[in-house]
A and B are shown apart, each in its own frame.
Chain A
Amino acid sequence: MIDWMGSLQILAVPLLLTVSMLVLVFADLLLPAAAQPKGNQGPLSFRDLRKAQAEPVPGVQRADILGWIALVQLALCLAASFVAPQGVLPGGSYVHDAMAVLMERVLLVAGILAILGAFGHVRQSFARRQGEFYALLQCSLVGMTLLAGTRDLLLLVVAFELMGIPLYVLATFAKTDKNAAGDATPGRKSAEAGMKFYLVGALSSAITLYGVSLLYGLSGSTHIADLARIPSSPLLQVASALVVAGFGFKLGLAPFQFWIPDTYEGAPTPVVSFFSVAPKIAGLLALTQILLGGLLGHLQLWLPGLVGMSVVTMTAGNLLALPQLHLKRLLANSGVAQMGTMLIGVFAAATLGAKGHGLSALLFYFIAYLAANTGLFLVIETLAHDGSEPSERDLIASLSGLNRRSPGLALAALVCLLSLAGIPFAVGFWAKLYVFLAAWEAGYAWLVLVAVGVSVIGLFYYLRVARSMYLGEPRVTTPVRSPLTLSVAVTACALATAGLGLYPSVIVEATRTAAAAWLH
């Protein structure tokens, strides 16, 4: 007899998210549209649609209400994560342990920040399609929250795609650009960004699936834990390479990272603020589940390749970020480097297991990265939304003299930059320190030295941005105007970055419990 209620409760957060998504879709259908284009009866042609979308929609209430609904729903899910019991789903395909709970919360917070940051953008650029926008975001979150606790290859694959497919749509969400005259033109950058993201992603997911099918064939079971039974063989080597390569796309490990800068540049910034962080966290968690949960006995098959990838990723990410003038491209490449650094935590966990601190350091890094990276992308969004800066959008130059325009915003950006650069007493410093200490303990001293060496490059480009904000001449002197929700999100990120930097032990405890629960 299966305990249905118990299972539902264990799965409360993903289920609640799914319901939220459906509610949102129906609300979008049922709520009266505030502003129908004038004289518009019958089905619309593409051309009409395009025109209609370009027109600013006056119904502000309508424009916001779906966003607020989505926000409240995510808040409810966050509350549910405090109530949902821990436990194992019958059949053992999903385990709701301390780590799943912690990561659920982190991912939901990422979603909340993204929605807060998107309000203004949605109203301005795609007010008529906002229901889909928020629903897709939640759909992606369903996949992510499932990934945090999955113990089954099938569930993992499904959750992975559930997370990934909505992101393709979100990346192309800006279907129109405004040209110099203010008219709507088909969004060239957005289409290009989506195409690159999609093709590389689809190829990678085919590769992952093929690897997973081989793993299933070798073990005869879809349980990740059963992978440990597989005897070592060349086929297993191929299968693990396929899986790692497939995940390498989502995590943006070199040489699978080329889509990242192009996609970030073309995609709407609030979306980027979300998918530069949350899918990476979820993806790395999934990879950890397979590699540490299933293939730990075959360390020699995947570890050398992954270590090499981490070194290449850190180096290439930092080198590629250095010459960038475009802020989103700079952050994209720096994010690649950060992922390479996070991998080091996986190695430490793989080598020392429950004796080391690799996994807890990794979880800590996730949180640090979430706060700082999201914060910076939202600062970029704030500037783009304000739009009074004459230089082209999203360039480092658009930050020039920001301190004199809006000191608060500049300070928030500075805090996040310092954190990403790993300057002491920002949370990013502790994140790097913990990962490096864990790796040093596990015998990866050389890797730590390499990582520290290449992260020095990071100082140059992060501080170049800071210098532009503080020493550059502002080209306009008006303060940056930003919607309240966006300011709230930026402030939250900056406060978290600074606060956790000053007092990291708040989350150190939580990450240690979570890691211990997973490693038991």
Chain B
Amino acid sequence: MSAFTLTRVDAALLCCAAPLLSFLILGLTPALRRTGRIAGYVSIAFAGLSTLYAASLLQGRMFAAASPPDIGQVGWLYAGGKLVASMGVQVDGISASMLVVVTVVALCVQVFSLGYLHDEPPAALGRYYTWHSLFLFSMLGLVVAPNALQLFLCWELVGLASYLLIGFYFKKPSAGQAAVKAFWVTKFADIGLGAGLLVLYVFTGTFDWSPQAVQLLGATGAAWTAGLFFLAVMGKSAQFPLHIWLPDAMEGPTPVSALLHAATMVAAGVYLIVRTYPIFQAAPGVLVFMTFLGAWTALFASIIACSQNDIKKVLAYSTAAQLGYMVSALGAGELWPGYFHLVTHAAFKALLFLGAGALIHAVHSNNLQDMGGLWPKLKISGTAFIIGAMALAGVPGFAGFFSKDAILDVLLERHLFAPWIALLAAAGLTAFYMTRVVMLALFGKPGHHTEHAHESPPSMLAPLVLLAIAALTLGFAGTSLATAAGHEYAFHLSTSGLIASSLALLGIGVGWLAYGKNAFVPGKIPAFAFVQGIVESSAVDRSFAWSYRVVFQGVSGGVAWFDRYIIDGFMNFSAWLTQMAGERLRAAQTGRVVDYLYAVVAGLLLLAAAGFWR
């Protein structure tokens, strides 16, 4: 053992400190920030450092799976002489593996962005990397949080950083609007987290999720806390009906979508459930609700994804659907399958988004119709994208297959048939729409931008290759990951696995027939046409626009009315009163020192009298 051996707590602290340092360096030295690319290198270097620490942590945890979590915390907030909250790190199998996921994806995305955003002005690029560092720091702080208060703070920071990143193209009005919409919807949901924290504190006097805290919560407290937390999860993890911000958020740069809307930020909601799972387990009602809502989100979003023409929107809806899988699995009462899917999904969805980024970069359009026939030109990115698509579709052997199988298995085991069927259907649909995207974008007749397309620079290809390898292999790492996290998992081919993979293959086949072979036009099939009709008639979009208007703007309108006429009236009155009192009192400040001396003597007499008068 050398003198420089780091404890796991130290490593976790360093892992979080690296991006913070990068953020501070870039934030405080405008000269460096404005260089753009060099700022990028700084940010990437620190993210790389962070990744190394995370990897060493995970490795350490794998060999110490049985040992209790490494917790390093310092007293943070005191009130009335009591410690109410600590700040620090909690390293266990779950947080260590999540650290690796977050750092690896962030690193890939930062490297990818160097190529993707090379046309941006240096100042904008520097700003972009500054926010990236802030985002990474807050996300890592969230992952290692040992209690709910630190998690909440980092959660808000993540929200802030994502708002800044989505609005990167702030000169584009739609990007600005999308950022605002994402902000409000998630802020609305965050009220749930804040209120949940309050309930937690009122019941337990702490912000811990330890078994003792759960005991103190009791059934009622747990139900309230879990329910309120889940509201926040619905916002962050885009569950129906609060998923509305996610497709709009695609206005941001594609690498940002890969980071935020696939691998990390949206997963933060699911991660919140994973962390506070003891509380959720004490609230069976909330769990049931989660199972059904997750399944419904998965099915619903998968249907919509089938008819999107914007490649990023397809991926956005599919993200909502996959998060639905996780929520549903967690609702079934088992932690591991949902978390496993979170990990694999992070890898292959980041891969898909970055691959989509490479395609978009080649043709300068998000639209599937503008692509087509790109395969011969983009062999490497194309292959990577196809690997991602197969992993998402759940083709046996790919990462998504294993985790999806585990989820379906647990639902069947718990006899939750309706969600099980919905998720199976969603699995088939997923395979179908991903085949559609692959066929339309990479094969088929060339679009009008295809001939100018060229392969991406190495800085964009390297992350793709890395993530593709992860998407291929991560499924097989399930057992060791589970061991590190203190769960048992061994792959076995189950009934639902068989059904799901055959459905996936069926979906691929149908997709290939429809879009590869052009054997039939899906629009001609009545059932499909019906669904597509609904989707394409923009009824869905309009209904959500309507609900956004009615729910958010209606509520906010009502609040605004109340605010304007009742609160403001009262406030204005008291403000007027105070102002008047202040102005009147000011007259006492005459500027003549004699008056001040009189005041001193008067005060003295009053003080003396106060004792006698009593």
Interface residues in chain A, defined as those with a beta carbon under 8 Å from any beta carbon in chain B? 195-196, 199-200, 203-204, 207, 234, 237-238, 240-242, 244-245, 248-249, 254-256, 258-259, 261-262, 300-302, 304-305, 308-309, 316, 319-323, 357, 360, 430, 433-434, 437-438, 441, 457, 460, 503-505, 508-509, 512
Nearest-Cβ distance from residue B578 to partner chain A, whole angstroms: 6
Across-interface contacts of A241 in B (CB, < 8 A): 604, 607-608, 610-611
Q: Tell me the nearest residue of chain B to A239, going by C-beta.
A: B608
| Structural contact, B579 and A323, CB atoms closer than 8 A | yes
Q: Contact: B593 with A255, CB < 8 Å?
A: no
A305 near B578 (CB under 8 angstroms)? no
A-B contacts besides A360-B81, A504-B76, 8 pairs, CB < 8 Å: A240-B611, A255-B606, A259-B596, A300-B614, A304-B610, A305-B610, A320-B582, A434-B79
- Nearest A residue to B614 via CB reads A304
Q: Which residues of B contact A (CB under 8 A)?
A: 74-81, 87, 575, 578-579, 581-583, 585-586, 588-589, 591, 593, 595-597, 599-600, 602-604, 606-608, 610-612, 614
Q: Is the CB of A245 within 8 A of B604?
A: yes
B597 engages A200 (CB within 8 Å): yes
Instruction: Let me know if B593 and A200 touch, CB within 8 A.
Output: yes
**Residue in B579, B593, B603 whose CB lies within 8 Å of A196:** B593
A338 to B309, CA, bound (A): 61
* Residue among A207, A244, A245, A308 with the highest chain B CB neighbour number at 10 A: A245
Chain B residues near A242 (CB-CB < 8 A): 604, 608
- What chain A residues lie within 8 Å of B600 (beta carbons)? 200, 203-204, 207, 245, 249, 255-256
Closest to A425 in B: B153
Q: In the bound complex, do residue B588 and residue A258 qualify as a contact, i.e. CB atoms below 8 Å apart?
A: yes
Whether A199 pairs with B597 at a CB distance below 8 angstroms is: yes
Q: Which residues of B contact A319 (CB under 8 A)?
A: 578, 581-582, 585
9 residue pairs bridging A and B, Cβ less than 8 Å apart:
A240-B611, A305-B606, A305-B610, A309-B603, A321-B582, A323-B583, A360-B81, A505-B77, A509-B75
A237 to B76, CA, bound (A): 44
Q: Give bound CA distance, A249 to B593, whole Å.
A: 14
Q: Name the B residues within 8 Å of A203 (CB-CB).
A: 597, 600
Which residues of B sit under 8 angstroms from A434, Cβ to Cβ?
78-80
What A residues does B607 contact at CB under 8 A? 241, 244-245, 248, 305, 309
Chief secondary structure at chain B's binding surface: helix
Question: A211 — nearest CB in chain B belongs to which residue?
Answer: B604
Question: A237–B596 contact, CB under 8 A?
Answer: no
- B610/A308 in contact, CB under 8 A: yes
**B603, A248: Cβ atoms under 8 Å?**
yes
**Residue on B nearest A201 in the bound complex, by CB:** B600
Main secondary structure of the interface of A (DSSP, over half): helix
How far in angstroms is the closest Cβ of chain A from B219? 30
List of A residues within 8 angstroms of B78 by Cβ: 434, 504-505, 508
CB-CB nearest 6 A-B residue pairs: A305-B610, A241-B608, A322-B582, A245-B604, A258-B596, A241-B607
Q: A204-B600, A238-B608, A319-B585 are in contact. Are A437 and B79 (CB under 8 A)?
A: yes
Closest to A204 in B: B600
A437 pairs with B80, CB closer than 8 A: yes
Chain A nearest CB, measured from B11 CB (Å):
21
**Residue of A200, A249, A261, A322 contacting most chain B CB atoms (<10 Å):** A322
Considering the complex, give the chain A residue whose CB is closest to the CB of B87. A503
Residues of A within 8 A of B610 (CB): 241, 304-305, 308
Set of chain B residues within 8 Å of A259, measured between Cβ atoms: 593, 596
Q: Give the most central of B578, B600, B612, B614: most A CB within 10 Å.
A: B600
- Report chain B residues within 8 Å CB of A460: 575, 578
Residues of the B chain whose Cβ atoms lie less than 8 Å from the Cβ of A512: 81
**B614 partner residues in chain A, CB cutoff 8 A:** 300, 304
Complex: chain B residue closest to A321, CB-CB:
B582
Inter-chain CA distance A237–B583, complex, in Å, is 35
A315 and B246 CA atoms in complex are apart in Å by 49
Contacts of A457 in B (CB 8 A): 578
Q: Which residues of B contact A309 (CB under 8 A)?
A: 603, 607
- Select A262's contact among B76, B586, B591, beta carbons within 8 Å: B591
Report the separation of the CA atoms of residues A32 and B329 in the bound assembly, to the nearest whole angstrom: 83
Cross-interface CB contact of A305 among B599, B602, B611, cutoff 8 Å? B611
Residues of B within 8 A of A360 (CB): 81
- In whole Å, how far is A119's beta carbon from the nearest beta carbon of chain B? 23
Per the bound structure, the CA–CA distance linking A457 and B576 in Å amounts to 11
What residue in chain B is nearest A306 (Cβ atoms)?
B607
Looking at the assembled complex, report how far the CB atom of B587 sits from the nearest CB atom of chain A, in whole angstroms. Answer: 11
Nearest chain B CB to A457's CB is how many angstroms away?
6
Chain B residues with Cβ below 8 Å from A204 are 600
B80 contacts which chain A residues (CB < 8 A)? 357, 434, 437-438, 441
Chain A residues within 8 Å of B603, by CB: 245, 248, 254-256, 309
CB pair B593 A195 closer than 8 Å: yes
Q: Decide if A301 touches B582 in the complex (CB within 8 Å).
A: no
Judging by beta carbons under 8 Å apart, are B585 and A302 in contact? no
Residues of B within 8 A of A207 (CB): 600, 604
Neighbouring A residues of B602 by C-beta, 8 Å = 255
Q: How far is the CA of A508 from the CA of B593 in the complex (A)?
A: 41
Distance to closest chain A CB from B164 (angstroms):
15
Q: Which residues of B contact A437 (CB under 8 A)?
A: 79-80
- B592: nearest chain-A partner, CB-CB: A196
